[in-house]
Structure 1
Amino acid sequence: MAKPLLCGRMEIGRIYNIKPTVVSNTWIHRGVLSYEDAAIVSGKPVWPGGFVESLALPPGSRGRQLDEVALAALEAEQGARVRPRKKGELPALVGAQEYAELFGVTQIAVGQAAKTGSGLVAEPDYALSGSKVWLLDTVLDHAPATMETSRKKLWVLRDKVAEALQEGRYDGPGSFFSQRGNKAKPPTP
């Protein structure tokens, strides 16, 4: 499968020349964007690039104007070859939480391994809104090296987690959207 264009809040802000907070505070609140249209990776929404592109209003109208130059630059940076319109068209994606679950380690261990370049963690396919994201195929292709490099053989691929991710039925850590900030706090009575 060709590598898809993906967008988090920061990428949407970039290609529409708006602040990422407008994406989360205004677009989602007004129904322009929905978490239903996003894949949830490590608790964060990731929207298909073609879907995000389709949100643009016609040139010359007021409102959501797509910056074609910024879109092309993002597509080049990601090495994306397709612009899927639906989350069901996306390949299985892995963030740090899912990576940790795949190998039975902590998310902290994944983060440290990614920083040190120890060979335990594959090079990420994306940096979306400040988070590393991998295609599941990248992680699985790198799995033999991960397990070989692991001291005391602590990193062991969990086939059941890989199958669940591949089949779109994964419901472990990172699989649901987690509210942050004031919206995460329970209402005051």
Structure 2
Amino acid sequence: MHGLKPYLVGHQEFAALYRVEPQMIGQWLAPSRRILDPATAIVVSGVRYWPLGFATRFGTTTARFRQVDVRVTEHLTAEQGKGWMADLGDELPAIVGQQEVMELFHLPSQGTLATRIAAGTFPKEDWLLSGSRLWLLETVIEAVPALRATARSLPWEVDETVAATLRSGTYSGPGSVVLTRGRHARKSL
């Protein structure tokens, strides 16, 4: 592994790269248009994210060439800190959001995690993309001793089976799929 986190984008950042509204990304993903293949994204807590390398190359792969905004690319890399430019989802380390964290520790409610995050006693997110916090799985696991030290009643025990499926890319628990909304929802059933 690279030892650094990969650069990622969510819907809002992807849209900014091409100077379009965030809703356009959904339109590009729509089955009727299929400009952007959903398989190019990873799914974390039910939301799609793309490696920045793929996102910046995307405009050259479409029938109608789209110019990427280099300033946005520079801003995103600066904002995300020291990292590396991944191109494919299978190059990425295990990345988790709140739903995966809840499953990893079998937390009783999302409020338990939200309280920890708000109090600053949960590790700082590795990414804040499109309004969502994401962490490297290893960032969360390395924080277990500190979580236990400040816990009143929760054991903060890592479910090693969940951790293994997250690492191998075979996780199928809560947050592993995007819930389709809108007019295409019935077609996906």
**TM-score of the aligned structures, taking structure 1 as reference length:** 0.88
Q: CA 1:9–1:64 in 2, change beyond 3 Å: closer, same or farther?
A: same
Tell me if the contact between 1:32 and 1:55 (Cα under 8 Å) persists in the aligned partners.
Answer: no
Q: Does 1:45 align with 2:48?
A: yes
Structure-1 residue corresponding to 2:140: 139
Q: CA 1:180–1:80 in 2, change beyond 3 Å: closer, same or farther?
A: farther
Question: Which AA in structure 2 matches 1:44?
Answer: V
Partner Cα separation in structure 1 for residue 11 and residue 173 of structure 2: 23
Query: Identity of paired residues, percent?
Result: 37
SS at match of 1:111: helix
Structure-1 residue corresponding to 2:104: 102
Q: Does 1:167 align with 2:168?
A: yes
Question: Which AA in structure 1 matches 2:19?
Answer: N
Cα distance per residue 1:93-118 (max 9 Å; x no partner)? 0000001111111233222321221x
Partner Cα separation in structure 1 for residue 153 and residue 116 of structure 2: 15
Of 136-145 and 30-39, the range deviating more from structure 2: 30-39
Partner Cα separation in structure 1 for residue 35 and residue 177 of structure 2: 20
Q: 2:79 aligns with which of 72, 77, 80?
A: 77
Alpha-carbon offset, residue 13 of structure 1: 1.0
Tell me if the contact between 2:18 and 2:67 (Cα under 8 Å) persists in the aligned partners.
Answer: yes
Cα distance per residue 1:17-73 (max 9 Å; x no partner)? 111001112x11222212211110000011111111111249xxx652100011110
Structure-2 residue corresponding to 1:13: 15
Q: CA 1:70–1:46 in 2, change beyond 3 Å: closer, same or farther?
A: same
Structure-2 residue corresponding to 1:123: 124
Question: Which AA in structure 1 matches 2:181?
Answer: R
SS at match of 2:124: coil
Structure-2 residue corresponding to 1:157: 158
Partner Cα separation in structure 2 for residue 154 and residue 166 of structure 1: 22
Partner Cα separation in structure 2 for residue 37 and residue 139 of structure 1: 25
Alpha-carbon offset, residue 176 of structure 1: 1.1
Question: Which AA in structure 1 matches 2:50?
Answer: W
Tell me if the contact between 2:144 and 2:156 (Cα under 8 Å) persists in the aligned partners.
Answer: no
Structure-1 residue corresponding to 2:181: 180
Structure-2 residue corresponding to 1:90: 92
Partner Cα separation in structure 2 for residue 158 and residue 182 of structure 1: 37
Structure 2: runs of 5 or more not aligned: none
Alpha-carbon offset, residue 148 of structure 1: 2.2
Question: Which AA in structure 2 matches 1:36?
Answer: A
Backbone CA RMSD of aligned residues: 2.0
**TM-score of the aligned structures, taking structure 2 as reference length:** 0.88
| Alignment length (residue pairs) | 181
Alpha-carbon offset, residue 169 of structure 1: 1.5
